[in-house]
Amino acid sequence: MRVRELAEWLGATFEGDGEKELSGVAPLETAESSELSFVGNRKAAEQAGSSAAGCLIVPEEWGSPSHRTVIRAAEPRTAFARAVSRFHPTAELKPGVHPTAVVGKDVVVGALVSIGPHAVVGDGTRIGVATSIGACATVGKRVVLGEGCVLHPHVTVYDNVDIGRGAILHSGAVIGADGFGYVMEHERWHKFPQVGRVEIGDFVEIGANSCVDRAALGVTSIGEGTKLDNMVHVAHNCRIGRHVVVAAQTGFSGGVVVEDYAVIGGQVGIGDKARIEARAVLGSGCGVLTSKIVRSGETVWGTPARPLRQHLEQLANLARLPALRREVAELKRRLAELERRA
């Protein structure tokens, strides 16, 4: 693809050799003369001069040498992501039901649906147009899959789950497993029946080996556009809002509420019935205590989670403890010497 064509497709402007042919994309440090890369931050801008990339997507205000071919975009990273999809288009869907797949009774299958080898679809399920169900995936009874969903191989969707259009479930994801609910009677744990449901909104992406549990009663829900990384656990009766991003190995206890556009780092633990308000940011590894409220727009870190400035101040105080210990030891020595002389 020529630079000129790519710029037009992106709705951006270019400078330099518009006829240069680009064959692919690559990181800034390894890109070759026929490849596209991008400048997304200050460090990348410093590396750009030594990059051999044939074309760079750069910020609109970036000053570039006259010999460099560039495409200027308001959001270089976003533009580059779109360019990647142009060079690496999604594999073409091949509609049809594989002979080894098992499809139950009263299943409604939309046009252009693909059901792969050894996949299982339960009775009364509805599959939207152009949805793909990968090899060995299991979809339970009375499930609704919206248009254009992608279930990668070995995904498991339990009964009575609704999944919106354009959702992507990666291998090993389990949607609708029983929540972790038990009651104690006569010194033994007895299972609390988990009879609720799961609802997943449009354009949600759920990473490999993640689990979204069904509600004990009611609904566990994940809102439109939310993205869960690999190995994320969403417990029963959680309500995750729209366009939330959650990094790997994070766990939500039962009844947690996360409002729209929150950002949650990796290995975060969130206690029962905690509330994360809109656009809050939880730093990686932090712990949110049961019923805690993280206020809208607030950034928290540490365990227990606290405002970032407070957390950093406490870390600085901890770093000073060895010196403080030495000072106290010296004062004790001097006091002992004064007492001896007295």
Per residue in 101-152, pLDDT (tens digit) is: 999 999 999 999 999 999 999 999 999 999 999 999 999 999 999 999 999 9
pLDDT, position 142: 97
- Are the C-beta atoms of residues 165 and 150 closer than 8 Å to each other? no
Q: State both tokens at 309.
A: 């400035």
Does residue 272 share a domain with residue 141? yes
- Say whether 267 sits in a helix, a strand or coil: coil
Looking at every residue in the chain, the average pLDDT score rounds to 94
Does residue 43 share a domain with residue 106? no
- Strand 70-73 and strand 96-97: the pairing is unpaired
Does residue 169 share a domain with residue 69? no
- Are the C-beta atoms of residues 191 and 173 closer than 8 Å to each other? no
- Residue 90 pLDDT > 90: no
272-154-125 Cα angle (round to 5):
80
Q: Report the candidate in 316, 285, 289 with the shortest Cα–Cα distance to residue 301.
A: 285
d(CA 182, CA 265): 29
Q: Report the pLDDT averaged over residues 169-174.
A: 98
Is 236 a known active-site residue?
yes
Out of 24, 54, 87, a domain closes at: 87
Does residue 170 share a domain with residue 81? no
Does residue 294 share a domain with residue 223? yes
Does residue 189 share a domain with residue 146? yes
- Residue 66 pLDDT > 90: no
262-230-279 Cα angle (round to 5):
5
Calculate the alpha carbon distances from 4 to 13, 16, 84 in Å. 8, 10, 16
- Residue 65 pLDDT > 70: no
Does residue 302 share a domain with residue 315? no
First to last CA, the chain: 90
Does residue 167 share a domain with residue 279? yes
- Say whether 22 sits in a helix, a strand or coil: coil
Does residue 253 share a domain with residue 112? yes
Catalytic residue among 152, 170, 233, 236: 236
Residue 48: which pLDDT band, with cuts at 50, 70 and 90? confident
Torsion (CA) 126, 131, 164, 83 in degrees, nearest 10: -170
Q: Report the amino acid identity of residue 299.
A: T
b/e for 248-259, b at 16 or more Cβ within 10 A? bbbbbbbbbbbb
Cα 230 versus chain centre, distance? 8
Query: How many residues are recorded in the chain?
Result: 342
Cα 196 versus chain centre, distance? 25
d(CA 149, CA 212): 17
If one counts the domains in the chain, the total is 3
Residue 175: which pLDDT band, with cuts at 50, 70 and 90? very high
Does residue 291 share a domain with residue 162? yes
Domain span including residue 337:
310-341
211-214-216 Cα angle (round to 5):
135
Does residue 315 share a domain with residue 287? no
- Are the C-beta atoms of residues 40 and 55 closer than 8 Å to each other? no
pLDDT, position 273: 97
d(CA 160, CA 293): 31
* CATH code for the domain of 113: 2.160.10.10
- Condensed to tens digits (0 to 9), the pLDDT of residues 226-268 reads 999 999 999 999 999 999 999 999 999 999 999 999 999 999 9
d(CA 338, CA 135): 82
Does residue 227 share a domain with residue 147? yes
223-296-59 Cα angle (round to 5):
80
d(CA 305, CA 293): 10
